[in-house]
Structures are given as structure tokens and as C-alpha cells.
Structure 1
């Protein structure tokens, strides 16, 4: 359903390290998720997203909430709002739409990472491979994520 997109070597290394952190390899389970620092319209949109987050995602209860982060379950499905544009995201990247929200998807060994496309700010959702299908989390988060203003449709 999803495919991996090419990216620069440094971006790949960063992505792999982030995926390892989230999957619990080399990190203590329950470790805090790094907080993004959005500004301007992205920060305004993120506040709206965070206010609408559900208590459960894919049947998992919320385990943590930060200013612009939240997680559900263990291993955790995580959401970070106001992240930078993914290095591999280009104008020709595939856009998968889930309940009206466009997503750029990346698959790693033990985790999926989804980042919104076409919104005034980037929202990132990581889903460990044990939670399958990974897109189920996106269905549960769509109503909240749609609070981030859309600037272009999924193509």
C-alpha cells in the first residue's frame, strides 16, 4: 500500500536513528518524544490539532501528551506536530489520503512514519510495525489532524 521514497544519506541516517529510538532499540521504553518547535501558522494549527486529539488510537490509550506531542500504547504510536519537512518529500512523492488527510509515508524495519502533505504545518505520526495495519492509527487521528489548515489537496 505504501512505498519508501529515496532520500539523502544524512536524512536516511537521521530517520533510522529516530525509528530506532521510537521502536525502543537503544532507548528506555516510555522515553519522552522530542518536542518540535513550530512557529507562525504551523504553531496555531498545532494547537488546534492537539486540542482535538482522541483518548485512544487504534485501540491504544493515550500514555503521554506534551505541548506538541502525544503517544498512545506501548510500543507507542506517536504524534509530533510542527516537525520540519521530511528530507525525502518532493513534489513527485506519493500522497496517500486517509479520511481527507494527505500523508507521505516511509517504511523502516520496525516502524512506519507518516507526515502530512498539503497542510500549513507538518504533522508526523510514527506507528511501530506491531500495530498492523499501520494506517488504522491515521484513521483515528484524521479528525484531529484535519484541524491543521489545508493549503493544497493530496495529489
Structure 2
């Protein structure tokens, strides 16, 4: 079944995700390489994340990484231990969702980064899903696994 066209900004944010085998649900995501406490927190987060998110089941990602979790065929992808968002400056808007600060890069509207934690957590959310609902579901596991 053909996918609906994405807005230009959303297409750019989802560019890192490539479906390798549409039927098998394996999704290509470039994993980050956190170290030290951030790596440990990200590994803890991976085990705390839900099996189903916003109606989507987890699927395998390639290459396999403890720092990447994907739901659906790349509709929602989480990467833990990413670098601080380059576009985020001291005056950037950060929205609070259940105690997690989320930065949304205006140039990449489908990309949200949890920024008030020991490790940055990046979530790409396709336009078919409401970011606030996804962020609410991720807030608990992020708070439990990654210290401020």
C-alpha cells in the first residue's frame, strides 16, 4: 500500500529511516554511540520502553543497537544518546510534557529531542501520529531510566 507523501520537513527528519524489508518490518536507523553514564542510562531505557506505542508494535532495526527502538515500519523511532541538537540555543522553546523537556527543531518538524536528562533522547514521529501523545507515553520510561 503506498504511503502518503510527507511534508518536506518531515521527509528530511525521516531520511535517517529506511525500510529494508517492508514485509519483515526491519528498519534501518543509524545508531548513536553514547559513552559512560549516558550509555548505561540508554541501555536501561531500552528495557523500559513499551512494546506498543501509539498503536504500533516494536520492530527490529538494522544494525541492531541497544540505543535504538523503532515502532511500526519506522513511523516512530527513538535514538538514545544522541548529541545536543545543533539548532537548540539558550533561547530555544522547550515544551514540558510530564516533566520531560522536548525541543522540536523548527527545520525538522518530525524530530523531537528530550533535553533535560543526562542523555539526549531523539524521537522521530511521522505525521500520522500526534507528538504529544507519543511524548506522554515516553515520559515515564525516560524519567525512570535517565537522570536529570
TM-score interval, smaller chain: 0.7 to 0.9
After TM superposition, the score normalised by the length of structure 1 is 0.74
Q: Please tell me whether the aligned partners of residues 19 and 108 of structure 1 are also in contact (alpha carbons under 8 angstroms).
A: no
Other-structure match for 2:29: 33
Q: Deviation digits for residues 52-89 of structure 1, max 9, x if unmatched?
A: 01011111111126311001113420000001111101
* Residue 59 to residue 16, structure 1, CA distance change in 2 (3 Å): closer
Other-structure match for 1:12: none
Note the C-alpha offset of 1:31: 3.2
Other-structure match for 1:142: 139
* Residue 62 to residue 88, structure 1, CA distance change in 2 (3 Å): same
Other-structure match for 2:127: 129
Other-structure match for 1:10: none
Q: Please tell me whether the aligned partners of residues 16 and 108 of structure 1 are also in contact (alpha carbons under 8 angstroms).
A: no
Gaps of 5+ in 1: 1-14, 151-155
Q: Deviation digits for residues 12-38 of structure 1, max 9, x if unmatched?
A: xxx97553343x5xx645432111110
Match of 1:115, SS? Answer: strand
Matched, 1:64 2:63: no
Note the C-alpha offset of 1:95: 1.1
CA–CA distance in structure 1, aligned partners of residues 126 and 12 of structure 2: 14
Moved more, 50-59 or 61-70: 61-70
Tell me the C-alpha RMSD between the 2 structures: 2.3
CA–CA distance in structure 2, aligned partners of residues 64 and 138 of structure 1: 21
Displaced runs of 4 or more, over 2 A: 15-22, 27-31, 106-109
- The aligned length equals 131
Matched, 1:89 2:88: yes
After TM superposition, the score normalised by the length of structure 2 is 0.78
Gaps of 5+ in 2: 1-9
